[in-house]
Amino acid sequence: MIDQTEANLRAEQIIETEGVKLIDNLLAIGNALSTRTDLQDILNLILLKAREITYSDAGSFYLIDHRLPHPAICFEVSQNSSQPERSLVDFAVPMTKQTLVGYVAITGEVLNIPNVYEIPTDAPYHHHHAFDEDISYRACSVVVLPMKNAEGLVFGVMQLINRKLSPDIILTPDNALAMTQPYSIWEEKILRSLVSQATLFVEHYRLLNPESSIH
């Protein structure tokens, strides 16, 4: 697995060679936001484009559900190129700082982790290795961003997993470490912008659907 510095250099090369594709992806999202009204449809599109831009193998949008006795972070949409038939939309994560998405949901901070299996033992959060084993997957690089409104309130999270060296690679637990790299600073900036677009749409959806579980 390459280090963060090399990941940043490779990202700059992508900007030079695939700038037109990046613009097309951003325009597609902008057009969709003005014409579509379905929440999952929009989140699926933004997640897909985020993964295409960053060569991410998998990703999810989570929204905080306040209808439960204790608020939980629930999968709203989930995608995985290496396991396209797998669905996690019925899965929920507790609101606790011990998980990556929980930490981001509570603190509003961005986590950009080169290898989740090398998180320091004294960190407040950790990766749930048993989950990887349960689904025969291997998470390596992960970036987690909060969906935060103008008042600083977090009501959702976007997580991308496994920034691949090439978009057409199919990952397995055996090759994941060798075939992935950290998310670059540039990619993190692009993702912040995409999450902001998702946040604006969710806020608009919430206003039109006051009965929604979204905070």
**Domain spans in the chain, listed from the N-terminal domain onward:** 4-208
The number of CA neighbours under 13 Å toward the Cβ of 18 is 14
Task: Name the amino acid, one letter, at 138.
Answer: R
- Could you give the 3-state DSSP secondary structure of residue 150? coil
pLDDT of the chain, 215 residues: tens digit per residue: 677 777 667 666 666 556 556 667 777 777 777 777 789 999 999 999 999 999 999 999 999 987 777 788 998 999 999 998 876 666 788 899 999 999 999 999 999 999 999 999 999 999 988 888 988 999 999 999 999 988 888 989 999 999 999 999 999 999 999 999 999 998 999 999 999 999 989 988 888 877 665 55
- Could you give the 3-state DSSP secondary structure of residue 39? helix
Alpha carbon distance 40, 152 (integer Å): 23
CATH superfamily of 4-208: GAF domain (3.30.450.40)
Q: What is the DSSP letter of 83?
A: S
Helix (H) or strand (E) holding 193: helix 185-208
